[in-house]
A and B are shown apart, each in its own frame.
Chain A
Amino acid sequence: MSVIVCRPEKVTRPYYVEDLGVNIYSSQEFCYAIYHHPMLFMDRFDDQNLIDFIRDQLGMGFAAARMEQRMKAGEKSVELMFLFMQECDYYTAAELNRFRQLVTSLKKLPPLEYAKRKTDYLVECKQYGRAIAGYQAILEAAGDKKDDLLAGLVWNNLGACYARIFQFQKAMEAYDRAYGKKKDLGLLEKMYHLTLLDSGLELKERYKSLISPQLKEKWDRDFDEAREKAGESPQLKNLQELFRKDSVKRGEGAARLVEEWKQEYRSMA
C-alpha cells in the first residue's frame, strides 16, 4: 500500500498507441501500457517521435536527452524503454526487476518464435490487418526451414485472422496450408465451418472423405449453438433495443453505431 505523487504534466498532444486504440496523456499511463503490453513497446523506443513526446509533452527533457544519446550510441530499444520507466518512478525497483526478467526471457526466444509471439499479441489487440502482415513476414523469413510445427501454427493463426475480417476464401487457403503442415482434426472443423459461413466455399474432396457423418452432425450442432449464442449477445440486444426507439433516436443511434463499426473495422483491417 502506498501513495505516489504524479509529476505535473501538461500533455496537449497525446501519444496515440494504435495497437491499443488509446491516447497516452501521462507518464503513468505510458508506464502502465508498457508494463501490461511489453510486446507492443519493446522495439518501439528507438524512435525520435516518441522521444520528442517524452521531452516536449511529458516535460522529461533530461530523460529524453539521455535516451537520445543512447540511441545515437546504438543502444537497444528495450534499454531505452527501461531507462524511461526508471525515470518515471511509477513502478518500484522490485516491480521493474520482475518486468526486466520477463522482457529478457521474451528477447531470448528464437527470432521467428519471438516474431510470432509479437504478432499473436497484435491478434489479441484485434489488429488483424497488421497481424496478417506479421504472419506473412514470418512465413517468408522461415522460407524452406524445416519447422513444420511453427509453420503450421502460423498458417493456422493467419487463417483465423482472415476469418475475423470476413475474408473466408483466404482463410480457407490458410487453413488448408496449415493442415498440410499438421494433420489436425480441429483444422478440418474450421474449414467445414467456413463452408457454412460462406456458401460459395466448398471443402476439398480429400477432406470430405475424412469427415464421418457423426462428426459432421456434431460440428453442425456446434455451429448452431454458436449462432444461437451470438444471437443473445449484449451487442445484438442493444441493437434490437435501438430499433424499438422512435425514428429520430433510432437514426442518431444507428449513425453512431455505424461510425463505431467503421472505426473498429478500420483499426482491425
Chain B
Amino acid sequence: MDGLIVGLDLCDAYTQMVCGQGEKSWTLPTVVCKKKDEDLWLVGEAAYASALAGDGVIVDKLVKLVKKDGTATIGGIKYGGMQLLSHFLQKVLELAREEYGTEMIKRLVISVARVDQRLLTCLQGCGEYLGVEERSLSVISHTESFMYYVLSQKREVWNNQIGMFDLSPDGLCYYEMKVQRGMRQTTVLAEREELEESFSLDILKTGAGAKLADRILFSCGSRLLQKKAFSSIFLTGKGFEETDWAREFMKLVCTRRRVYGENTLFAQGAAYRAVDLTREKTGYPYVCICEGRLDSSVTMKVLHKDQENQLVLAEAGESWHEAGKEVELILDQQDYLEFIITAMDPKKKKAVRLVLEGFPRRDGKTLKVLLKIGFLDERTMTVTVRDQGFGDFFPSTGASMRQEVML
C-alpha cells in the first residue's frame, strides 16, 4: 500500500472517518482528553473514561473553539484550539494507520459544515503537525461531500433532483442537488439550508418528544419537497440512525421516491473526493457549484496574437480557497484593469473596473504589473496589483494596491 487515502467528517459533536481503501469506518465524539500527570492524549470513549475517573481533563466542541480562536488550560498549560485539534486528529488518524499498517497519508480530505478562512488555516496548520504535505490535504464543505457521495452512486440515483436531510446534534440541515446537462458540459448545483426548526436529539428519548420531532420533520419535508421531482432522498446524521420515531415523515419522503439512509455520508463523500484527487484525470467531469466553490467565473480581456482573448483568472466550480492566479501583465495606454464576472446565468455578466491610482504613467508598453487574485470566500475576491518596473529601463516605483471585489 502506498499510503492512506482518508475522508474525514469533522463536526463539533462527532467525527467520522472512512478510508478510500476499505469499507471500515470510524465514528467518535470530537473530544480530546489529556491525562493530568503525563503527556498522554486520549480520544473517543477512552477520553470520557479518563475524565470520569478524574485523571484527565476533557475538551469538547473543538471546531467551535478553533473558529473563535479560543484556548483551553489543562494542568496549568494553555493550549490553543489548533494544538488541541491537532492532538485529536493525530489520535484519530492513528486508528486508520493501525488498521491498514501504514504511516503515510497519501491524501486527506476533511469535510466541515462550512469552510471559512480561519478554520482552513487552522486545518492546514494541523496538517503540518500531522506530517501531511500541504498539497495532500484538502478541506471541503458538507455540501461538496454530499455532491461527491451522490455522484459516486449509480446514475439512476441522481437523474433528477436529489434531496437530503441531515439531523445531527449540531442541527437540522436540508441539502438539494440538481444536474443540468448542457451541450458542452454538465453542471451540478448543490445547496444547503440550515433549518430553523432544528431540535435537540434528546427529545427523541420520550414518546411525546419523538412525536413532536416527527411533526416538525413532516412539516419541513412537506414544504421542501412539494412540487419537485426527486430521484432520491438521503437521510444522514445521528438522528436518523433509527427512523421508527419518524413515521409520518418517512411516509412522506418514501412516496414515489427512493430513500437511502447513510450515516457516514459526509466522510464517504470526502473519501470519494480524496480518491479522485489521486487520479490523473478526474472521475467527475462536471462543473460543480456549491458552498465552498465559486459560482462565477472571472476573466479579463487580453490581446494575444492581435486578437482579443479572454484570460481566465478563476473558473466557476473551483474551490474558492484553491482558486487564484498570479500573472504579469503589460498595460498598453490604460491605467485600469477590468474584470468580467460571469455567473451561471450569462445575463448576470458584469464588468468591474479597477483604476490603478498612484501607479506611474509609462508609455510604450512599459507599465508591467503583477496581478494576484485570491478569494476570502465564495463571494469575495481579493485583487493585488504591484508595479514590477520594466527591467533596467524603468525600475519599479513600488506602487501597489489591494482591493476586495464582490462577485
Interface residues in chain A, defined as those with a beta carbon under 8 Å from any beta carbon in chain B: 1-6, 8, 21-26, 28-29, 32-33, 36, 89-93
Contacts and interface: CB of A to CB of B under 8 A. Distances in A.
A36 to B, nearest CB: 7
B257 interface: no
Interface of B: 300-306, 311, 327-334, 337, 364-366, 368, 390-393
A23 to B, nearest CB: 5
Given A4-B302, A5-B302, A28 B332 contact: no
Q: Which 4 A-B pairs have the closest CB atoms?
A: A22-B392, A6-B328, A29-B391, A2-B303
Contacts of A22: 391-393
Given A1-B334, A22-B391, A32 B366 contact: yes
Contacts of B366: 32
Contacts of A6: 327-330, 368
12 contacts: A3-B311, A3-B330, A4-B332, A5-B304, A5-B327, A6-B368, A22-B392, A23-B392, A28-B330, A28-B368, A32-B390, A89-B304
A108 B6 CA distance: 72
Contact of A3 (B305, B334, B391): B334
B337 to A, nearest CB: 7
For the residues of A in contact with B, the DSSP-based class is mixed
A21 B368 CA distance: 21
A5 B330 CA distance: 6
A21 to B, nearest CB: 8
Contact of A5 (B311, B334, B393): B311
B361 to A, nearest CB: 13
Given A2-B334, A5-B304, A90-B330, A36 B391 contact: no
B305 A89 contact: yes
B354 to A, nearest CB: 12
A92 B392 contact: no
A184 to B, nearest CB: 37
Nearest to B328: A6
Contact of B301 (A3, A32, A90): A3
Most buried by A among B302, B305, B329, B393: B393
Contacts of B302: 2-5
A93 B304 CA distance: 11
B390 A29 contact: yes
A64 B335 CA distance: 34
A32 B365 CA distance: 8
